[in-house]
Amino acid sequence: MRRLRGRWPALLLVATLALLAGCGSAPGRAGSTARVGTPAASVTPLDPADPDGEPTTITRYDADFHIVESGRMDVTEGLTVSFPEDVIRHGIRRTFREAPGHVQRFPADVSVLQDGRPAATEVQRHRHSRVLWIGAADTVLRPGQHTYLISYRYDGVLSGDDDAIQRLHWPLVPAGWQQRIDRTRLRVFLPAAATAARCTAGRVTCSVHGRHTRVLHIETGALPAKTPIVLRARLAPH
């Protein structure tokens, strides 16, 4: 007994080290989730996928894109989302897919207002995308319309040639929205006049106003879910 009593400290040390080794995990791996601005933590998505399709509707989608000569782009997306009475929803999700090679992969300085107040957010990390869940798991949104203001930035969105002509190729409305969108209003502020501009909504050409100026305007009517609006523009040399 005396011999066993003398070994207790060593046994306790071994057990403690084994427990710590079993609890460790590698942070930041693909598929992990994290609250914006906090260490990674595992969370359950706010609302599971609906087999009949996303029940909410984006009734208004307004976005401004401010691009400077260095290629930095600051974006503000203003959404009005209609929530029906017959479903329970805690919020919405915004998917950011990996950007092209010359651009930083995912946005920085992401902030969200919901109904004019800072929103609870979770970021779910995947290999080629980030899913921003907006809303609180313990709060069910009342039916009706709710507003969202999503702000973020990218660096390096302009690509250039040897002749100093810069080009922009960007999904102004991404394909990741699960909802139908009733109407869009998009404005792109450029560092130089656009000598050419082309817009597509899915596979359909959409109108671009403001060619040969520094501000491009795009407005569309209803878009089916998962329909991107992509802008291609060539800027005047400087």
**Residue 92: pLDDT band with limits 50, 70, 90:** very high
Structure confidence at residue 164 (pLDDT):
72
Tokens of 49: 């996928």
Structure confidence at residue 160 (pLDDT):
79
pTM: 0.79
Structure confidence at residue 49 (pLDDT):
61
Q: Is residue 54's pLDDT more than 80?
A: yes
Structure confidence at residue 47 (pLDDT):
67
- Mean pLDDT calculated for residue range 176-197: 97
Structure confidence at residue 226 (pLDDT):
95
Structure confidence at residue 34 (pLDDT):
34
**Residue 100: pLDDT band with limits 50, 70, 90:** confident
Q: Is residue 166's pLDDT more than 50?
A: yes
**Residue 51: pLDDT band with limits 50, 70, 90:** low
Q: Which CATH architecture has domain 57-235?
A: Sandwich (2.60)
Let me know: does 203 contact 229? Beta carbons within 8 Å: no
pLDDT digits (tens, 9 = 90+) for 194-221: 999 999 999 999 999 999 999 999 999 9
- Beta strand ranges found along the chain (DSSP E): 33-35, 57-67, 73-83, 91-97, 108-114, 117-118, 121-125, 129-135, 144-154, 158-160, 166-173, 180-181, 184-189, 194-201, 204-206, 215-220, 229-235
Q: Is residue 228's pLDDT more than 80?
A: yes
Q: Is residue 40's pLDDT more than 50?
A: no
Return the domain boundaries, the chain. 57-235
* Of 1-10, 173-182, 185-194, the least confident: 1-10
Q: Is residue 73's pLDDT more than 50?
A: yes
Let me know: does 121 contact 36? Beta carbons within 8 Å: yes
- Mean pLDDT calculated for residue range 212-235: 97
